[in-house]
Structure 1
Amino acid sequence: MPLLVVISTVIALFFAIHAVKNGQDRIWLYILFLFPILGSVVYFFAIYLSDIRATHVGYQFESKLRKALDPQRSLREAQKNYDLSPTVDAKLSLAKALVDSNRASEALPFYEEALTGIYQTAPDILLQYANALYEDKQFNKAKQQLDYLREKNPNYNSEEGHLLYTKILVALDDKQQANQEFDALIGYYPSLEAISYYLQTLINWNEIDQARAILQTIEQRLRHMPKHSKRINSQWIKEIEQSKQKLSRLN
């Protein structure tokens, strides 16, 4: 019980400092210290969350919180909009919500309906369709769609599409071409996602020496990475650390 009191007091003090710095009404100080637990919860949702949601980190946090509290909300809203007006945008929104809910197979018909008429060769839709096929483990068909996208849209460039294509090659066990794509990809991909995935792939392929060389490249990049970039890449940094531990056990 004393530990709970200490923790709640520290949290209340943090929010009290935030309230003073940001010129909030002094009534919040009374609320926070008279009712530290309830007051902190109310302050977080009423004041603090609205302040941080404008930042990239805050937006990510709010999105994760909403998803945790109501994981089906986006899907329900997308389904409702589609039922009201089954436009191409509504189909795509519903398809994406289905993919995000691990129901990629149900999303495929909506993408196929959208890829007709003037949208038959639309690169953004083809890319989303290929991703849904990949999530549904239809790897050959996913590759065919990306090859078709390239054929019909030779000037279209997408970092996410390049990473997806590489993942498909890995899934198809095309190591030679996958390595070529990785070499090109990790040189320009803006986040650590691509190089983290490459490290995992090399370990799975039992290419231990190459994996260690890539890990050295990653660690050098991390040493020079600003704090805000590390926050943005926190998910991939965590995965890299897991891969590093796995690699150390293979000594």
Structure 2
Amino acid sequence: MPILGLGLHVIVAILFAVHVWRTGQERWWLLVLFMFPLLGSFVYGLTVWLPEMSRSRGGRKVVRGLRNTLNPGRELREAQDAFEHSATMANRVRVADALQASGRNGDAIAAYREALRGVHADDADIQVRLARALLENDEAPAARELLESLIARRPDFKSAEGHLIYARAVAASGDRARAREEFETLIGYFAGIEPRARYVEILDGWGEHAAAARLVEESLSHIKHMPAGARRLNEEWIRRLKHASVRAVAPP
């Protein structure tokens, strides 16, 4: 479908041309992209953009999301095949991750619990993943209890993702005072925008529109100073933050 008179393939070529310029790629890529926008974009995406994205954690999520959009269930099928070929703990966790990403949180919970056996019974990383699945399965009190037990046993263990899951579980459990403390700490050190966006949504849900509006304003100012690459990796959370800002600034 044309967009502002341009074909979608031309829009993609323009976006890749911006990527060429910002990341310092060879300038002949610009010629390829604009002389052959469809084929050039395909080749550039396959040989430059996807490999670059795959080198970062956030980029790997983007690539997995793209692959899942183009081929739903692919990661789960591949994970299950890998586990059938080699029933290692890593492959079992991969299956659990794929189940959780597919929205099958109940199955993911069972798979993570299977992984937490034997020598891996106290694996902190798997427990964080299990807590995430519990939270997504509307079992916030269980997620909070699991992470508090982990914190008590492993006070040296540090996980920004685990901290965010804990803060969300505390908020979902109705403990507003503790949730405020956790989110304010998270916002102070978390590299991404997710804690800010989630906290704005939570404040808005509590009816604390003025506090949500203040956080939106401060966060949008913070985003302006983020590198372009970091903004790209946080696109979803920036979008959610801006969407929440409409409700926060102008509540019904």
TM-score class normalised by the smaller sequence: 0.7 to 0.9
Share of identical aligned residues, percent?
30
Segment of structure 1 superposing worse, 54-63 or 11-20: 11-20
Q: Is 1:45–2:42 an aligned residue pair?
A: yes
CA contact (8 A) 2:2 2:8 kept: no
Segment of structure 1 superposing worse, 215-224 or 199-208: 215-224
Letter in 2 for 1:161: G
CA distance in 2, matches of 1:187, 1:120: 32
CA contact (8 A) 1:78 1:97 kept: yes
After superposition, residues 155-194 of structure 1 pair within 5 angstroms as 155-194=156-195
* Cα gap change, 1:122 to 1:40, in 2 (>3 Å): same
Structure 1 gaps, min length 5:
34-38
Report the alpha carbon displacement of residue 108 of structure 1 after superposing the two structures with TM: 1.8
CA distance in 1, matches of 2:145, 2:2: 62
Q: Is 1:126–2:127 an aligned residue pair?
A: yes
2:99 corresponds in structure 1 to 98
2:28 corresponds in structure 1 to 22
Letter in 1 for 2:133: A
* Cα gap change, 1:123 to 1:4, in 2 (>3 Å): closer
2:7 corresponds in structure 1 to 7
CA distance in 2, matches of 1:68, 1:88: 27
CA distance in 2, matches of 1:114, 1:95: 9
Report the alpha carbon displacement of residue 232 of structure 1 after superposing the two structures with TM: 2.2
* Cα gap change, 1:143 to 1:4, in 2 (>3 Å): closer
Alpha-carbon RMSD: 3.2
After superposition, residues 98-247 of structure 1 pair within 5 angstroms as 98-247=99-248
CA contact (8 A) 1:121 1:152 kept: no
1:36 corresponds in structure 2 to none
CA distance in 2, matches of 1:8, 1:245: 29
CA contact (8 A) 1:52 1:58 kept: no
CA contact (8 A) 1:115 1:125 kept: yes
Segment of structure 1 superposing worse, 7-16 or 101-110: 7-16
Report the alpha carbon displacement of residue 128 of structure 1 after superposing the two structures with TM: 0.9
TM-score scaled to structure 2, two decimals?
Answer: 0.83
* Cα gap change, 1:21 to 1:131, in 2 (>3 Å): same
1:54 corresponds in structure 2 to 51
The C-alpha deviation readout for 1:89-134, integer Å capped at 9, x for no partner, is: 1111101100000001011222112112221111011111111111
Size of the aligned set, in residue pairs, is 242
Report the alpha carbon displacement of residue 23 of structure 1 after superposing the two structures with TM: 7.0
CA distance in 2, matches of 1:13, 1:220: 30
TM-score scaled to structure 1, two decimals?
Answer: 0.83
2:74 corresponds in structure 1 to 73
Report the alpha carbon displacement of residue 63 of structure 1 after superposing the two structures with TM: 3.4
Report the alpha carbon displacement of residue 58 of structure 1 after superposing the two structures with TM: 6.9
* Cα gap change, 1:91 to 1:234, in 2 (>3 Å): same
CA contact (8 A) 2:13 2:40 kept: no
CA contact (8 A) 1:49 1:58 kept: no
CA distance in 2, matches of 1:162, 1:131: 11
Report the alpha carbon displacement of residue 16 of structure 1 after superposing the two structures with TM: 10
